[in-house]
Structure 1
Amino acid sequence: MNKFFTRAAAFFGAGALAISLTACGGGGTGDANVLTVGASPTPHAKILKYLQDSGAAEKAGITIKVQEFSDYIQPNEALKSGDLDANYYQTVPYLEEQSASRGYKFTASKGVHLEPMGIYSSKIKSLDELKDGAKIAIINDPSNQARQLNLLAANNLLQLKGMKDISVVNVKAKPAANPHGFQFTEVDGASEPALLPDVDIAVINGNFAQGGGLKPSDALTLEDPKGNPAVNVLVWRADEKDKLDAIKKLDELLHSDVTKKYIEDTWPDQSVLPAF
């Protein structure tokens, strides 16, 4: 069956607050050319480690120390506190939502890559088979949830036109928005792949799909990468001075041909797409 693309918006969410440190040290260092960067394990940390291990970072005059996070709240908190020099795991829509609610004063780069969100199932082969009252697993953080609901709407499964605050709560409150009476199970994004046997479909962010062993070719549909605001960006404190030069070098490296080729070679299935 041919997979087709649909359009959606926004990104990233919350999960278990587990943190694991890779590379050496935990927190910013005094060396202006050494950057401690918080990242999700894949693909973000994988990309950063490649840049360090391949010698590309050294050639650019910087050293990258990667601190991995399995959730999406702590990397911004660690950046705010100064334990990180930068982080690489989120999109501008998610950053804007978090900044509004938590008072962050951060700067974001241009998009580096996109991990296309998809609708997955272990029970049906096509969305045409989805029955009224079906069970749908969906992420529980606001910005990602809106993005996932928009993907469902783009496939004519929900009617969200005119809804300002797109959320499961509001969809449940307005029967016209959910004409098929779908039942939603809200969970943290990392748990969604494991829930596939228990639901009819799950809307899963690209990085969580990868973590659960899923490929874009497994999806019933994927969001359209063209003009998508859900590209991932490098983020740093707006008042950063001591390591700003090094951060700019890292940003340039993330937008280089070296990074683009690595992404294309490492993810030929297009589960990760360069955004530059």
Structure 2
Amino acid sequence: MRNTAKITTAALVTGALTLALTACGSGKDSSASSDSKGPLVVAASPTPHAEILNFVRDNLAKKAGLDLEVKEFTDYVTPNTATEDGSVGANYFQNQPYLDDFNKKNGTHIVPVVTVHLEPLGLYSHKVKKVDELKKGATVAVPNDTVNEARALKLLAADGLITLKDGVGTEATPKDIVKNPKDLTFKELEAAQTPRALDDVDAAVINGNYAISSGLKPAEDALVLESADNSPYGNFLAVKKGNENDPRVKKLAKLLTSPEVKKFIEDKYQGSVIPSF
């Protein structure tokens, strides 16, 4: 029986987050985290995270004595709230700046275990082939969560489209733009919606996982692609604090950084997803 459950949650809003966090206080723990002898249930974005986990489950887990179950989520909120309340035992979808911001804002206690890969953020368009073809007053869609919006703006700044205030960090917003020679207008959207906006805007900055799942090839299709050099945005396996030493988690961490997984990532994604080990 296939152990992958698809859960569509892209339309989550603040109210849904409030409900999820309220549920955390119910004291109900599932076997996902409380029974170290049961299956390890991992929440993941469909692409590439769940695909990588499914490769591990189908090819490596049995030999390592790991019973692995993968649950797919299409948003960047539920995997953390589910890990916090014990609905799942771990998650694999995020980077350190995003996790730091999430823990701070939501009072969660999620910690990284092992970094697996990097998905370069990219600028895409259905209307122009080159960045310099963007017209004055063009509209650019960007993710609306704190970390990814700042990351998107830094990508545009690195290519000279805008200039940000000196020293701006992972909370940059369009208000921190000091020079905007093309008078770009920014449309802030939930990250999962940015690929769908490509027909309605002049360009969009899209996270790697959403680009790939939408049929884009970051290494080929991006007008501008984030550099992988010294990037703080590596995606990692994460758990609720205190579960780092769960034997199942340790087994999965080892498998996710194995030569077999490295080869799988390189062969399947052709530079659109980059191993970080």
With the length of structure 2 as denominator, give the TM-score of the two structures. 0.84
Structure 2 Cα separation of the partners of residues 213 and 94 of structure 1: 25
Give the C-alpha shift of residue 263 in structure 1: 0.9
Q: Which residue of 2 aligns with 1:246?
A: 248
Q: Which residue of 2 aligns with 1:227?
A: 230
Structure 2 Cα separation of the partners of residues 205 and 199 of structure 1: 16
Q: Which residue of 2 aligns with 1:190?
A: 192
**Which range moved further: 109-118 or 83-92?**
109-118
Structure 2 Cα separation of the partners of residues 157 and 86 of structure 1: 38
Structure 1 Cα separation of the partners of residues 154 and 201 of structure 2: 19
Give the C-alpha shift of residue 27 in structure 1: 4.4
> What CA deviation, in whole Å up to 9, does each residue of 1:238-261 have, x standing for no partner?
1227x7121011111101111111
- Aligned counterparts, 1:100-111, within 5 A: 100-111=104-115
Q: Which residue of 2 aligns with 1:10?
A: none
SS at match of 1:198: coil
SS at match of 2:41: strand
- Aligned counterparts, 1:102-141, within 5 A: 102-141=106-145
Q: Which residue of 1 aligns with 2:273?
A: 272
Whether contact under 8 Å (1:168, 1:184) holds in the other structure is: no
Structure 1 Cα separation of the partners of residues 100 and 116 of structure 2: 17
Q: Which residue of 1 aligns with 2:45?
A: 40
Amino acid at match of 1:183: T
Give the C-alpha shift of residue 31 in structure 1: 4.6
Amino acid at match of 1:231: G
Give the C-alpha shift of residue 91 in structure 1: 0.6
> What CA deviation, in whole Å up to 9, does each residue of 1:57-78 have, x standing for no partner?
1111211101111111011000
Whether contact under 8 Å (1:33, 1:61) holds in the other structure is: no
Whether contact under 8 Å (1:29, 1:35) holds in the other structure is: no
Give the C-alpha shift of residue 29 in structure 1: 6.3
Amino acid at match of 1:30: D
Identity over aligned pairs, percent: 43
Give the C-alpha shift of residue 109 in structure 1: 2.4
Q: Which residue of 2 aligns with 1:7?
A: none
Structure 1 residue ranges, 4+ long, deviating more than 3 angstroms after superposition: 25-29, 163-169
Give the C-alpha shift of residue 194 in structure 1: 1.8
SS at match of 1:109: strand
Whether contact under 8 Å (2:123, 2:203) holds in the other structure is: yes
Structure 2 Cα separation of the partners of residues 177 and 167 of structure 1: 14
Give the C-alpha shift of residue 169 in structure 1: 4.6
Aligned length: 251
SS at match of 2:115: coil
Q: 1:185/1:26 Cα in 2 relative to 1: closer, same or farther (>3 Å)?
A: farther
Q: 1:213/1:185 Cα in 2 relative to 1: closer, same or farther (>3 Å)?
A: same
Structure 2 Cα separation of the partners of residues 75 and 137 of structure 1: 24
Whether contact under 8 Å (2:142, 2:206) holds in the other structure is: yes
- Aligned counterparts, 1:12-23, within 5 A: 15-17=10-12
Q: 1:26/1:150 Cα in 2 relative to 1: closer, same or farther (>3 Å)?
A: farther
Unaligned residue ranges in structure 1 (runs of 5+): 1-13, 19-24
What RMSD over aligned residues (CA atoms) do the two structures have, in Å? Answer: 2.1
Matched, 1:144 2:148: yes
Give the C-alpha shift of residue 140 in structure 1: 0.8
- Aligned counterparts, 1:82-97, within 5 A: 82-97=86-101
Unaligned residue ranges in structure 2 (runs of 5+): 1-8, 14-29
Give the C-alpha shift of residue 103 in structure 1: 1.6
Q: Which residue of 2 aligns with 1:22?
A: none
Q: Which residue of 2 aligns with 1:77?
A: 81
Whether contact under 8 Å (2:139, 2:185) holds in the other structure is: yes
